[in-house]
Structure 1
Amino acid sequence: MSRIMLTGATGQDGSYLLDVLLDRGDDVHAIVRSPDEATTLAARPGVTAHVADLSNTAMLPDLVDEVEPEQLYSIGGFSSVSQSWKQPALAGLVSGVAVAGLLEGVSRVRARTAREVRFLQASSCEIFGDTAPAPQSEGTPMAPTNPYGAAKAYAQHAVGFARAEGAFAASVILYNHESPRRPLSFVTRKITNSAVRIAAGLDSELRLGNLDAKRDWGWAPDYVDAMVRVMNANEPGDYVVATGVSHTVRDFVAAAFTTAGIDDWEQYVVIDERFYRPVDAAETRGDASRLARDLGWKPTVAFEEIVAAMVEEDSVQLSAGAEESHRSA
């Protein structure tokens, strides 16, 4: 049993990682934002929840020093690229400066106890911006073009500085990854949910922005598996986590509607300029060959299967909601 600390335990990736850690019997300490989240997580055997705001970066080193983890997964942060344009300072704090605060805590524990504390940062392909040719790799220069990417680039540099000082500090440069646990605030879940609702006759249209943007979409549990492999590798390093295959947003929409039983999806989709980003990469596609070579990782779920799983979950939830409404009537 290891003492593990993590941020972002209530998000998509954090929830899958929490399942893995608890299944193997680890002592998990999760940093959460609210007392309600703490109560929910603490109900799970093996979890100790700590209420802390990642934007309050001054308190993070003390918290890490108090817990004395053997491993620290930095997964939490600002998850929305579009929202980062509206709140760039907050994005910089929770996805950038907070990582430096966590690493400062790691440094304190190492200095005081003379033992290793392993650290993993969940980075993003947004650090590469929109000028890097596809596929991007660990050697691709960082040139972020949005506040979210800039914050992640800052954190990426912080990991490198810590590693240069002898810490086991690693990062996974994650490309887009989805699952049925993806929140509705993300465009992919918005698409699958709308497809199900339109197929059921509950909605009549889906408003989207750029359908031609290409993204490398993978399966979230696969990416969590990559995190665990990198954290437990013999040596710390930075690894791209991607499928190496890109699809357009149009492809995602078509797959979602087809799975929901609608082939002529174009009549239901409205292009809305409000959903265009100020700067948007034409294509993000990653080269995960280093991760495959060093740690034996490979994606296990195909694009069409990912979309189908999300549509199926939305269908189940819609049916469950209808059944609940029927019982309440």
Structure 2
Amino acid sequence: MPTLYDSFDLSGIHLDNRLVMAPLTRNRATPGNKPNALTVEYYRQRATAGLIITEATQISPMGQGYIDTPGIYSADQIEAWGSVSDAVHAAGGKLFMQLWHVGRISHTSLLPDGASPVSSTDRKPNAMTFAAEGFVEVSAPRALRDDEMPGLIDDYRKAARNAIDAGCDGVEIHSANNYLLEQFLRDSVNDRSGPYGGSIENRTRLVVEIMQTVCREVGANRVGIRLSPMTTFNDTPRDSDPQALYTYLVEQLKPLGIAYVHVVEGETGGAREPEDAARPFDYNALKAAFGGCWMVNNGYSKEMAGSAIAQGSADLIAIGRPFISNPDLVRRFEEGAELNQLQEDKLYGGGAAGYTDYPTL
């Protein structure tokens, strides 16, 4: 039976093991929304992960939702991310960049010329974001027009090309945690008519068109996607029929031959089987509908991860916070070593403390 520590062929990309560092927002970008020398060191330290997925990185100035998060739309950002990918590769690792547009989870102070956030809807969620003055309520969004969709799709295409030009091995399209793309997917948010609203086919159209475009630009073997069928994160109710919605979506993605689907099981950072769900979600059925490489995430311990790999319910395991506090998490898991304690008060913003100063064995 396969183990966590076996190598894995990810669409022609060799991974040394099956442990993936999940994307983790850290709010430490420098002016111009660029990675810095600390970012380079942070990812270099964790390069023993089979694959690193970077923190969510906005595709355009309009995609930003939190202060000091990095982008991938300017020449300076491409150059800065190049230093990160060079360091990860020099340490023997692999790196996919997560491409992000937050949609309605933003604030006018973070957007160009004080613009309103954009979404599938003009309804404002009861959610908070992190701006210069600290945590603030998100601003009221405006609904994107249908004629704005080609430009949005092209922003994803350009961002994917920029990530590859910066030396990344691939990209992950962030379609989870109720940011922009999931705001189109769910009928609990998407109240529009026309080609991008109403039926499941229409609500998935934007995600499918983005994936098709990005695959054409950089190659399907370099493209993954993250989904979160059951989370209510960011004050977003579940879809009325999540099993049907996400099954249809992965069936549309299957012919593209993408590198993987990455699924957050249950509530993001919370219960793996939410008690308030109308009915349980069948992740195994979703995996079967996709048929390709399957990455899972949310609260996996070493034992749970090993069992999932051995039983074939997952090909890769994405682990978040333990990778923050344990740069050498793969070794600690393999040797049964004690884990460092996470400094939760240093997760977002700041400098080296709680970022690059965690000890290794």
In which range does the TM-score fall when normalised by the shorter chain?
A: 0.3 to 0.5
Q: TM-score if structure 1 supplies the norm length?
A: 0.36
**Hey, which of these two has a bigger chunk of helix by percent?**
1
Highest CA radius of gyration, 1 or 2? 1
Q: TM-score, normalised by structure 2?
A: 0.34
